[in-house]
């Protein structure tokens, strides 16, 4: 299951409706800022402990009193959204502040804050700028569920086929509620499991209804999703240059994933933005692709999407497992022809050459690829260590700084292999993955009583296996049972620093091995392969 976001525009809302939307967005920001200020001491305590609480734990910082005080802002319909928004803001603040200096989240400032800044004898410029930038700034509204009686839902006019959005904005006590009469000439039917018509009542309602403007593509997506309204999940309402948009999350079934036949690595190129290498699972080098800047001028995001679509297209055609650089740190040591001066425009040209993609853009691209791959029915892309990626020889694996001594050409100082520098990164990705796949988790044996003790010291695992022809199978069964209990495959397995990199890596390897016997090697087992032994015995019989 993946989620897709459809962004639709609220079609020309009247001045009153626009005003109401802005008012609620402002109140929402104000309420959120109130929660942030209120919990600041508690958050700072957590910060000083250096731990990272879960989203649920963060939400629990907001006690009953805090939530009750939100009624002042008339935020009853948005209590859950505010809790979630709060937890996400604090969560990212805490995780970011581990690695860099981060200021406490600020979403809304008012006259009082501005006055404070300008009345101070020596105002801090950075603080003044952030205070001004958030001055009475409306905040995106989050609607947590699709429901005909709360949050948000869609309606369709049976006469014109046009979509309408029904958005709950006010609590029952609010005097902003309005009577809804415009629909007299419409036949608005809910997009819901039990599709009924919208009732026009003579009372003031807690919601507003907006016609929706959307293009052909978006309309198709809505039509498709409307077939099963359970697919509609959450929505965000935001304002850009005076226009209001609703971004709706829609769940989509993913096509079933086929077993890949090839490997496709994509890495930053040396004098082109990106370079792709396609290899077979047996190390056979098939093809390489050089991606260049898009022909027609486009913005930053569109450019990344064009490349992402090309990568997915190639992967689909060749049924590939996609591999990418896990650029946690800048360790791939790619030294590209950099332009003179501190020029950092989208396409950096130097002496007629187009330089590689920046690390930041590459990371953005890596975030786009996984969901596009899921949509295309491709297996989940795998990040590969980027450590010294461009200094390693793809042929023999020799890794040295002297491997790269001609610009644009890599020559291995050990085996003499030479290749275009562009190819090196992406080809090494596929090679590294292939090597990793071939590596086994080693277990050693020692005799003990009427059997052997099979162990791995890093994993701190020890199993006793009785002497028989099926020792390897017995061991695998015991190990499988242990994995099932300690690190079940169906659950996510995030890195835990207390475990250490080495142990984590081995456990991941074991989890990924299917069958388990493919991922392990037992050194010194008397009867290594039970099949061979039993075959031998059956042949030895007269
Ligand atoms: Zn070499």
In a shared domain, residues 353 and 276: yes
Beta strands at 520-523 and 441-448: parallel, antiparallel or unpaired: parallel
Centroid of ligand 1 to alpha carbon of 439 (angstroms): 20
> Final residue of a domain: which of 418, 435, 452?
435
Give the Å distance between the CA of 335 and the centre of ligand 1: 19
Torsion of CA 299, 301, 303, 308, to 10 degrees: -170
Q: Are residues 186 and 128 in the same domain?
A: no
pLDDT at 337: 54
Q: What is the CATH number of the domain that holds 425?
A: 3.30.420.140
Distances (CA, A) of 310 to 274, 321, 379: 11, 15, 17
Q: What is the Å distance from ligand 1's center to 396 Cα?
A: 4
Q: What is the pLDDT of residue 317?
A: 92
Ligand 1 centroid–CA 394 distance in Å is 7
Specify whether 314 is located in the same domain as 416.
yes
Determine the distance separating the centroid of ligand 1 and the alpha carbon of 289, expressed in angstroms. Answer: 22
Q: Do β-strands 204-205 and 188-190 pair in parallel, antiparallel, or remain unpaired?
A: unpaired
Gap from CA of 440 to ligand 1 centroid (Å): 24
124 and 164 fall within a common domain? no
Q: Of 366, 400, 435, which marks where a domain is finished?
A: 435
Based on the domain organization, do 277 and 227 belong to the same domain? no
What is the Å distance from ligand 1's center to 322 Cα?
24
428 part of a folded domain: yes
- So what's the pLDDT on residue 55? 86
The Å distance, Cα 337 to ligand 1 centre, comes to: 24
Q: DSSP state, 399?
A: B
Number of domains into which the chain is organized:
4
Do residues 117 and 168 share a domain?
no
Tokens 């290498």 sit on residue: 277
Instruction: Report the CATH number at residue 525.
Output: 3.30.160
Tokens for 343, please give them: 């020029």
Same domain, 210 and 340: no
Out of 141, 175, 197, a domain closes at 141
Show the low-confidence residues of the chain (pLDDT under 50).
339-354, 530-542
| 4 inside domain | no
- Could you read off the pLDDT of 416-436 as tens digits, one per residue? 888 888 888 889 999 888 888
Q: Based on the fold, state whether residues 463 and 373 are members of the same structural domain.
A: no
| The pLDDT value given to residue 542 | 41
The alpha carbon of 470 is separated from its chain's Cα centroid by a whole number of angstroms, namely 44
Q: How many CB atoms lie within 10 A of CB 136?
A: 13
352: left (phi over 0), alpha (psi -120 to 50) or beta: left
Same domain, 286 and 228: no
* DSSP SS3 for 389: helix
Residue 402 confidence (pLDDT): 78
Q: Find the 398 Cα to ligand 1 centroid distance in Å.
A: 5
Q: How far is the CA of 262 from the centre of ligand 1 (A)?
A: 23
In a domain, 198, yes or no: yes
For residue 345, what pLDDT is reported?
A: 46
- pLDDT for the residue 292: 85
Ligand 1 centroid vs 442 CA: distance in angstroms?
27
- Within a domain: 11: no
Give the Å distance between the CA of 356 and the centre of ligand 1. Answer: 24
Measure 334 CA to ligand 1 centroid, in angstroms. 18
Tokens of 24: 């609620």
Domain hosting 335: range is: 262-435
- Does 153 share its domain with 186? yes
Ligand 1 centroid from CA 402, angstroms: 12
Same domain, 23 and 128: yes
337 within domain boundaries? yes
Looking at the structure, tell me whether residues 130 and 184 fall in a common domain.
Answer: no
Q: For residue 6, is it within any domain?
A: no
**Residue 495 falls inside a structural domain:** yes
Domain assignment of residue 492, yes or no: yes
């Amino acid at each position: 299951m993946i989620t897709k976001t459809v962004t639709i525009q609220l079609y020309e809302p009247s001045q009153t409706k626009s005003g109401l939307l802005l008012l609620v967005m402002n109140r929402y920001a104000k309420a959120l800022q109130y929660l942030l200020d209120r919990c600041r001491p508690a958050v700072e305590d957590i910060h000083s402990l250096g731990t990272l609480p879960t989203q649920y734990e963060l939400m629990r910082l907001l006690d009953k009193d805090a939530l009750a005080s939100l009624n002042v802002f008339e935020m009853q319909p948005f209590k859950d959204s505010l809790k979630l928004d709060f937890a996400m803001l604090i969560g990212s603040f805490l995780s970011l502040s581990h690695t860099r200096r981060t200021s406490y989240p600020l979403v809304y400032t008012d006259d009082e804050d501005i006055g404070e800044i300008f009345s101070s004898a020596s105002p801090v410029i950075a603080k003044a700028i952030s205070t001004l930038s958030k001055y009475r700034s409306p905040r995106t509204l989050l609607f947590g569920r699709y429901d005909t009686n709360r949050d948000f839902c869609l309606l369709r006019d049976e006469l014109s086929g046009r979509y309408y959005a029904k958005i709950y904005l006010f609590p029952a006590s609010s005097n902003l509620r309005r009577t809804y009469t415009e629909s007299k000439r419409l036949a608005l039917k809910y997009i819901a499991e039990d599709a009924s018509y919208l009732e026009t009542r003579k009372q003031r309602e807690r919601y507003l209804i907006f016609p929706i403007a959307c293009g052909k593509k978006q309309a198709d997506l809505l039509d498709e999703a409307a077939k099963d309204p359970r697919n509609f999940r959450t929505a965000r309402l935001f304002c850009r240059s005076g226009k209001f948009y609703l971004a709706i999350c829609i769940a989509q079934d993913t096509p079933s994933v086929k077993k890949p036949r090839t490997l496709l690595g994509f890495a930053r190129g040396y004098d082109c933005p990106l370079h792709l290498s396609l290899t077979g699972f047996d190390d056979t080098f098939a093809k390489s692709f050089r991606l260049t800047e898009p022909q027609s001028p486009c913005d930053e995001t569109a450019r990344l999407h064009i490349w992402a679509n090309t990568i997915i297209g190639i992967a689909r055609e060749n049924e590939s497992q996609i591999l990418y650089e896990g650029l946690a740190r800048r360790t791939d040591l790619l030294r590209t022809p950099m332009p003179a001066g501190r020029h950092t425009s989208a396409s950096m040209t130097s002496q007629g050459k187009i330089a590689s993609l920046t690390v930041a853009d590459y990371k953005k691209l890596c975030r786009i690829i996984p969901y596009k791959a899921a949509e295309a029915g491709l297996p989940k892309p795998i990040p590969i260590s980027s450590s010294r990626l461009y200094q390693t020889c793809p042929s023999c694996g020799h890794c040295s700084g002297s491997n790269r001594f001609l610009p644009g050409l890599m020559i291995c100082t050990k085996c003499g292999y030479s290749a275009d520098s562009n190819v090196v990164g992406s080809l090494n990705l596929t090679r590294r993955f292939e090597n990793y796949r071939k590596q086994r988790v080693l277990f050693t044996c020692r005799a003990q009583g009427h059997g052997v003790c099979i162990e791995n010291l890093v994993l701190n695992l020890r199993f006793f296996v009785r002497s028989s022809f099926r020792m390897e199978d017995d061991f695998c069964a015991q190990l499988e049972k242990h994995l099932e209990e300690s690190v079940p495959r169906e659950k996510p397995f995030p890195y835990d620093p207390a475990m250490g990199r080495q142990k984590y890596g081995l456990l991941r390897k074991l989890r990924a091995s299917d069958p388990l016997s493919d991922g392990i090697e037992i050194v010194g087992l008397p009867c290594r392969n039970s099949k061979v032994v039993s075959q031998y015995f059956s042949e030895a019989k007269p």
